[in-house]
Amino acid sequence: MPGREKAQGREHAIGHPAVTDSQTGLANSLHFDLVYSYLFAGGNRGVSFSVMLISAGGEPSASGVRSLGEKIERTTRDSDLVAHLGGGRFVVLLLGTNLPGARVAADRLETALSGDGRATASIGLAVYSTDMSEPSELLESADKALSAAEAAGGGIEFGR
């Protein structure tokens, strides 16, 4: 049963402490960096993807961060990577997702997060473009969009 062994190995790797955030059980920043670097390198071969940065705003409690992470993970697809970056900040890698698809994902997430009475979340989106030569360009674009959303008091903003 090689397929079963491979699936069990994958489950173990995903839950390994080196790549898992202890507070949320989600991927940590190391896990995100590894997957993101791999995706970025494949981007020039037609692999579309987007980055969504999410900020809960303020200083959420540990249980609030855990709850927020669970809600983000439930709202995204199985093929998306949800990672906790620290505090109330999360990142989602949306594999195979262009700008319209990223907008749909962000709208769905914003609706899910606003349903729990939480302050409006801020979401910054950026989509990979073949004219990006460095992995930092996409993340900086998403971060600028997140900053704009935070300055506006929440909502969704787009990077270049």
Q: What is the mean pLDDT of the chain?
A: 84
Rounded Cα–Cα distance for residues 42 and 35 (Å): 11
The arithmetic mean of pLDDT across residues 65-73, rounded, is 90
Q: Is pLDDT of 13 > 70?
A: no
The per-residue pLDDT for 64 is: 84
pTM of the model: 0.85
Confidence category of residue 86, pLDDT binned at 50, 70, 90? confident
The per-residue pLDDT for 3 is: 44
Tens of pLDDT, residues 37-62:
988 887 667 778 999 999 987 777 78
Q: Compute how many other C-beta atoms are within 10 angstroms of the C-beta atom of residue 117.
A: 6
Rounded Cα–Cα distance for residues 129 and 80 (Å): 18
Q: Which helix (H) or strand (E) holds 54?
A: strand 49-55
CATH number for the domain formed by residue range(s) 26-158: 3.30.70.270
Helix residue spans in the chain (DSSP H): 2-14, 29-43, 62-75, 99-114, 135-151
Q: Where are the domains of the chain?
A: 26-158
